[in-house]
Amino acid sequence: MSHPVLPSWRDGQTRTLLLRFVDKVTTPGEYFLQPCDRVAVFDNDGTLWPEQPMPVQLHYLTERWRQMANADPALASRQPYASVLADDPSWIASVVREHYAGDDTRLPALADAVIATQRGMDTDAVANLMREFFRTAQHPILRRPYAACAYQPMLELLAYLREREFSTVIVSGGGRDFMRVIAAEVYGVRPEQVIGSTADASWSAAQQTVVYGNTIRVLDDGPEKPVQIWGRLGRHPVLACGNSNGDIEMLTYAAAAPNGLALLIHHDDDTRNDIPYDTGVERALAEAGRQEWLTVSVRKDWARLYPDAP
């Protein structure tokens, strides 16, 4: 049954509790929040659009690493360039798995390669490279542009919250500047409402612009997410939505607010064009049960996954 509000969400407890929360904090009474206090934060990869079989930014980075290795053969024997040239994602995937398991031994090598894709370049030049990627790149399974791969139920939720005078903010472990070039087009989220991992940058008097430096300044994941939310917004979120272990602290932060709500997206549908997975979500699922967060089942709660084909 389709509804005028959140039409891609199926009838059930999840949709009912979500709408009840919004009504509760936007209706004058005991739980009412002023619009300035209605802050909703969302992870990006795996929450607003797919992160399987690889996060979108990783797709962008592999293309940049391929270009760099072809231009400089000396890179071909180093990781992650060797893996990219061999079309073997296992090294990169293993480093990411180790990070989520608390082992960052090999993370510096991956981080240095990320920085190398923009080191010394000005922000406009890098943004143009990212826009060109989005102009041509497609999701490898859905075979549609990434801009058309956002989850339809989440697009509806973002729009509905804004109708009810919420601020909708992206808070992701992905690169802030990478998301900024697409966030307004895909999600209706303005660039200044995007929080993410950031590289060191400085003012170049010679170029009269901002230029990227040599280090990752902030890795916006896990406990860093609440810190960045407070540092950027100066407000406590009352609604948070994530999908992985890296979102636990952000979800806890929102749930700890008076009448706060945490939503955990669980990818458990093997019947449609979404890859089910629990790896990297195990602790989040356990916390959702312990703290009574609202767990969103892709299989049970979402009647439709994606917008109409472009």
Distance CA(166)–CA(159), nearest Å, equals 9
- What integer pLDDT is reported at residue 112 of this predicted model? 94
Per residue in 52-110, pLDDT (tens digit) is 999 999 999 999 999 999 999 999 999 999 999 999 988 988 988 887 778 889 989 99
Q: CATH 3.40.50.1000: which residues of the chain?
A: 13-52+150-301
- What integer pLDDT is reported at residue 19 of this predicted model? 98
- What integer pLDDT is reported at residue 155 of this predicted model? 98
What number of CA atoms fall less than 13 Å from residue 104's CA on the CB side?
5
The model carries a pTM of 0.95
User: Whose CA is closest to 95, among 53, 83, 116, 217?
Assistant: 83
* Regions of the chain with pLDDT less than 70: 1-3, 310
Q: Taking the CA atoms of the chain, what radius of gyration do you get in angstroms?
A: 20
- What integer pLDDT is reported at residue 180 of this predicted model? 98
Pairing mode of beta strands 239-242, 294-297: unpaired
- What integer pLDDT is reported at residue 2 of this predicted model? 57
Q: How far is CA 210 from CA 70, 72, 193, 213, in A?
A: 28, 26, 20, 10
- What integer pLDDT is reported at residue 17 of this predicted model? 97
The fold adopted by the segment(s) 13-52+150-301 is Rossmann fold (3.40.50)
- What integer pLDDT is reported at residue 98 of this predicted model? 85
